[in-house]
């Protein structure tokens, strides 16, 4: 039994999750409650505080070690240097100094990071990136998030806004998407893009089993593709090619040992993954072609374990 621990918090727009974690990533105790962001910032911070208290070791149970730090992952745009949530749409938060608030409340070092970066940190320490020094993590979901570890450290940039792979230009001739970027990677290759592309082809009158769905999700497209629907297969393969080219860019820019893929879109499975890997093998420059592209391993706990990994980094141990 280890005598050290950290508290990890995964603050999402839907749920606040907290855990007491051992150094090996073992979760000793967990707590989960609804975030209810529309109650306001103060109410959410109070809930967050309650969640942390709920996983603190009981004074009567000697098997639960006192935590030496707190790590918190939040959605949106984070200033990791100053511990501030700059902007989080689904929390309705602007410039919230979460780190200093919690550090004062709990008298512990507190680390704050955005969810994609912390998922990368979690996979690096406990999951599919274990044992690497240099790793790229990409999450393919409604959007595309990314975190990069070089020299065992998160790549943050001057203000913590680096590695926005989802917002790089992948087609200079395309119109500007939601983020303002023309042919942005996320606009072309996220789950949202898969659903939109299928929907557009249905509107063009192409035959498909997807016609029976009132609204088409990326999961519907994946399921139909795996059942052999030609329209859905075409969409998955086209998006798989663009994802592969985005990963080629990540390989050429960060030269990682490995790319770890997370997010709901990878659940589409081998049809998509095969196309992604084939595209990388075909288009990456020769020395980058052999880098393994593997699936994330931490599942629903990746946010918590990423926050735990960050907490360990804030301690001297």
Q: Distance from first CA to last CA of the chain, Å, rounded?
A: 17
Establish how many alpha carbons lie within 13 A of residue 97's alpha carbon, considering only the half-sphere containing its beta carbon. 6
Measured from the CB atom, the residue of 164 and 301 that comes closer to its own copies is 164
- The 3-state DSSP class for residue 297 equals coil
Measured from the CB atom, the residue of 98 and 154 that comes closer to its own copies is 154
- How many residues would you count in the chain? 317
Cβ partners under 8 Å of residue 144, min gap 6: 138, 165, 166, 185, 186, 189, 190, 246, 263
* Structure token digits, residue 136: 């790229």
> Residue 30: which H helix or E strand, with range?
strand 27-34
Establish if 188 lies at the interface with its own copies (CB under 8 A): yes
Smallest gap from residue 20 Cβ to its own copies (A): 31
Q: Give, as ranges, the residues between 36 and 65 that touch its own copies (CB under 8 A).
A: none
Establish if 205 lies at the interface with its own copies (CB under 8 A): no
Figure out which of the listed residues 252, 269, 274, 292 binds its own copies, where binding follows CB under 8 A: 252
C-alpha closest to that of 67 among 145, 4, 127: 4
Whether the CA torsion 35, 37, 43, 48 is positive or negative: it is: positive
Figure out which of the listed residues 49, 97, 179, 199 binds its own copies, where binding follows CB under 8 A: 179
Measured from the CB atom, the residue of 115 and 134 that comes closer to its own copies is 134
Smallest gap from residue 189 Cβ to its own copies (A): 9
> Residue 93: which H helix or E strand, with range?
strand 93-96
Q: Interface with its own copies by CB under 8 A: which range of 4-12, 119-127, 177-185, 295-303? A: 177-185
Q: Give, as ranges, the residues between 109 and 168 that touch its own copies (CB under 8 A).
A: 132-134, 150-151, 153, 155-165, 167-168
Binding mask 278-317 for its own copies (x = CB under 8 A): -----xxx-xx-----------------------------
Q: What pairs with residue 16 in β-bridges? A: 11, 33
Could you list the residues that contact its own copies (CB under 8 A)? 77, 132-134, 150-151, 153, 155-165, 167-173, 176, 179-183, 188, 241-242, 245-246, 248-249, 252-257, 283-285, 287-288
């Amino acid at each position: 039994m280890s005598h050290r621990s950290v508290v990890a918090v995964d603050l999402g727009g839907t749920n606040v999750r907290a855990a007491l974690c051992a150094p090996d990533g073992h979760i000793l105790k967990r707590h989960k409650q609804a975030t209810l962001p529309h109650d306001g910032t103060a109410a959410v911070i109070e809930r967050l505080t309650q969640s942390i208290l709920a996983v603190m070791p009981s004074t009567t149970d000697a098997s639960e070690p006192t935590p030496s730090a707190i790590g918190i992952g939040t959605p949106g745009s984070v200033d990791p240097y100053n511990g501030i949530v700059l902007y989080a749409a689904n929390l309705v938060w602007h410039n919230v100094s979460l780190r200093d608030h919690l550090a004062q409340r709990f008298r512990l070092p507190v680390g704050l990071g955005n969810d994609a970066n912390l998922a990368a940190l979690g996979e690096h320490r406990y999951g599919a990136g274990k044992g690497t020094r240099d790793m790229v993590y990409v999450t393919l979901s409604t959007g595309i998030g990314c975190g990069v570890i070089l020299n065992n450290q998160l790549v943050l940039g001057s203000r913590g806004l680096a590695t926005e792979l989802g917002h790089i230009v992948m087609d200079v001739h395309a119109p500007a998407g939601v983020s303002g970027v023309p042919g942005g990677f996320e606009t072309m290759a996220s789950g949202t893009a898969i659903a939109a592309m299928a929907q557009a082809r249905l509107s063009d009158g192409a035959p498909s089993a997807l016609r029976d769905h009132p609204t088409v999700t990326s999961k519907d497209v994946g399921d139909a593709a795996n059942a052999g629907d030609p329209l859905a297969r075409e969409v998955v393969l086209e998006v798989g090619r663009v994802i592969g080219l985005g990963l080629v860019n990540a390989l050429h820019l960060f030269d990682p040992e490995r790319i770890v893929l997370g997010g709901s879109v990878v659940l589409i499975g081998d049809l998509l993954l095969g196309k992604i890997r084939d595209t990388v093998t075909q288009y990456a420059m020769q020395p980058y072609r052999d880098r393994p592209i593997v699936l994330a391993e931490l599942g629903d706990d990746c946010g918590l374990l990423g926050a735990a990994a960050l907490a360990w980094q804030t301690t001297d141990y």
